[in-house]
Amino acid sequence: MEMTKEMLFEIIDKTPFGDLVLIEDETSYGSAIATYVFVRYAREKGLKIMIDDNLDTLFLIKKQLEFLGVQEDFSDILVIKTGGKMDVGRVVGRIPLETEPVIYLSRYESMANEVFSKGKYMNIVLGLERLFAFLQEPIEFYTVISSIQGFLGNKSRKAFYIIDKNIVSNLKFNPIPELEEIATTVVHIKGKYGRGKIIFEKTPFIELLGKGFEVSLERVLQW
């Protein structure tokens, strides 16, 4: 079955605030397209958006969308940057990477909670695989995992963590098993040559569990 805009937007509609959706991308453009879709959804629904931009991943997403013919400057979107130098969107917080993750995580949590105190947000998290690549010790790894888990149930955000599975699978510490445990929904994006499949591996919606939906890159870009 082909996934339509109406079907996907209905699923996002039904996803409660406080949930954490993990999107594991195994394709060339899945992360860029997923970001594009969530931004389109939020604008249509009149929802505010905050993007967690780890190590300039949003800049890469912007360039990939340009390559696909989509001009998107994200100028109306709040961005908290951890590391990196390329500003995209309305940057409301900058966190330099520290040798001790607990330091930048504490700064991030403070900034994020300040944003969330001002209303409900679609929260798109990009570039976690780049952040996890810096971690050298188990205690650092579990400090980051614990920070992510701490936001679960936060009713001010509907969170979508988009992660490059091909990269993260080769890291010293692969966070996928831990993140799948935390997430309320786990979605895989697979495919190539402009055709893909969205598979719901974990979801509170029983009718979607284990189901795969076809998607066309060309069609999604027309939504």
pLDDT for res 223: 86
pLDDT for res 192: 84
Give the C-alpha separation, 16 to 19, whole Å: 6
Tens-digit pLDDT string for the chain (223 aa)? 899 999 999 999 999 999 999 999 999 899 999 999 999 999 999 999 999 999 999 999 999 999 999 999 999 999 999 999 999 999 999 999 888 899 999 999 999 999 999 999 999 999 999 999 999 999 999 999 999 999 999 999 999 999 999 999 999 999 999 999 999 999 999 998 788 999 999 999 999 999 999 999 888 988 8
Residue-range domains of the chain with CATH: 5-220 (3.40.50.11570)
The runs of H, that is alpha helices, within 52-198 are 57-67, 101-116, 128-132, 138-150, 165-168, 176-182
Strand partners, 199: 188, 212
Note whether 150 and 159 are within 8 A (CB).
no
pTM score: 0.96
